[in-house]
Chain A
Amino acid sequence: MITIAALTIGEAARRRVLWVLVALAAIAVAITTWGVASLVDLARSEGVGELQLRIGISQILIFIAFMFGFVLVMTAAFFGSPAIAGDIESGVAQALLARPLRRSSYLLGRWLGLAIVMVGYAVLSGLGAIYAVAAVSGYTPPSTLLPVAYLAGQAIVLLSLTVLLSTRLPPIAGGAIAVVAYGLAWMAGVLGKVGLAIGTSGLVGLADASRLLLPTDAMWQGVVFGLEPAFVIGAIGDTPAGRGNPFFADTPPSPEIVAWTVAWVVVVLVLAISQLRRREL
């Protein structure tokens, strides 16, 4: 498993995908830092109060996290969908699996290698953005590691789904299905927020069911919660505007949903292994 994980990381590095991601993350951090610095200068020159400034920056940081989260999810889909299917289509998998290599080790190695790349990218881009914004604005979110962990969690959930799809479907089909599923889960989360704001239990139930089926939105709520200052949560947490805002979360994901997410990833990987074992090469 470790051999295949190292091979997968090596592949990302040698194919320059890793470096392109790092360069894009650095450019995105640089641009957003410059933008935040300009906004801070403008706001201070206009006499905007420090409190409003911190509220504004926390919201900008959430938008930046959303962008990085989206890039991560897309990367997970595009890396994960050919991970198994591409190797089988090209014949690379047959050469490897004719060796004393268990299919489970091969699959988990591919997943682990990609998960390490995803986590590395989440840490680099997430912490990069948080500390760069802190440097130019003086605002640091209440937690730095927690939102980054949830950002990585969101990518790992989608990566696991694409790896499962990759055991049966061609790369493009698997990637497309995973991206659509992520979009639908996010939309279900937004509708759930609207349902909370207007008191429609059906929409709230839909969001809850969607989080069980694909817990990416639960992870996103963790990112949002970790980036918000406590006084914002206190001020708007219990208002319709707060409850209905997809870029606002008044509570972190419950321990139950976090445990479910971990179990979900395990179940999906077990399913993926079982599918690959049954596949004729």
Chain B
Amino acid sequence: MLAMPRLSLDLPAIDVTDLRKRYGRIDALAGLTMTVGRGEVFGFLGPNGAGKTTTVKLLLGLARPTAGSGSVLGAPLGDLGTRRKIGYLPELFRYQPWLPAREVLILHGQLIGLPRSRRRPAAEEALALVGLADRAGDTVGKFSKGMQQRLGLAVALLGEPALVVLDEPTSALDPIGRVEVRGIIRHAADRGATVFLNSHLLSEVEQVCDRIAVIDHGRVVAIGELDDVLGASETEVRVSGLDPADLAAIERFGSPSLDGDRLLVRPMDPGRVPDLVAALVQMGARIHEVRSGRTSLEQRFIELVAQDRPPAGTPSASVLR
């Protein structure tokens, strides 16, 4: 019996396997494998030169992989028809400086095949969404960098695409603009779109993404839900009068380690902090400060990248740089 083909809607938004891209002697991607589900807000992180923008270009068909395979919205990488359903804000956002903002959007509406009668209303809606409704008639050349990035966001969101790829979407925005963009990303996700967010701003990713991938040297070093990547919570206590021999008594709270006056219990349920403090006091210790929380994404990112890097002065085995 023949298997029924899966509907493209059942397939992941992005699915790549062992994707490789070589530019001359440089491996920009060295075997990238990852899956992004439908409707996710997916954060794509990595240090400079890790291969983030290369990945985006391969997903959009702007560059071809040297090896490996992948699909976007159920179609092979670079499929022309699928691009109709993808909105893209490039890292280097530049639009025809001589065109009014509204006409840039009408042009893109035409390219993605919006019916003629829908182009102008869709352009106005997208401009309103990014706060440029009152500048619709102004030529792009008169826009500040931040306004041009907002226009790029409007272009990416035009026609309610199923996949929105944002490459550093807030690099030119002020703090208010960044907060607004988080709202815009959430709005796109609420209507069912998948958002692929390539960003250096870890706090932004932490606040808005459901899942993340950290890449370095052209491959994934961590991927999963934010909680999984960040790991469990920990509690740090500044303490005096604690004998290291007593540490075994608090192992029921988590794995303890004492460094000078700093006691770290990891992993540890934040709800058990009062019990830990009571136990320490009972043991005769004096408590000066208690901090409970989770590793920040920034800390975790630095840890992951440091783990992946060879010691200084040692060339990487897998990647020529």
Contacts and interface: CB of A to CB of B under 8 A. Distances in A.
Contact residue range for chain A? 20 to 34
A255 interface: no
Most A Cβ at <10 Å: residue of B64, B83, B94, B155: B94
Max chain B CB contacts within 10 Å: which of A7, A90, A94? A94
Interface in A72-120: 90-92, 94-102
Contacts of A10: 99
A269 B313 CA distance: 49
Q: Determine which residue in A7, A14, A98, A101 has the highest number of CB atoms from chain B within 10 A of its CB, and name it.
A: A98
B98 A99 contact: no
A92 B63 CA distance: 16
Given A94-B90, A98-B88, A102-B80, A281 B63 contact: yes
Per DSSP, chain A at the interface is helix
B84 A281 contact: no
A100 B81 contact: yes
B111 interface: yes
Contact of B62 (A90, A98, A100, A102): A98
A91 B92 CA distance: 6
B159 to A, nearest CB: 10
B168 to A, nearest CB: 13
B113 interface: yes
Contacts of B81: 100
Nearest to A277: B64
Contact of B107 (A3, A91, A98): A3
Per CB-CB distance, the 9 closest pairs between chain A and chain B, nearest first, are: A91-B94, A91-B92, A99-B111, A281-B62, A98-B88, A280-B63, A100-B83, A14-B98, A98-B60
Interface of B: 23, 57, 60-64, 80-84, 86, 88, 90, 92-96, 98-99, 107-108, 110-113, 152, 155
Interface of A: 3, 7, 10-11, 14-15, 90-92, 94-102, 280-281
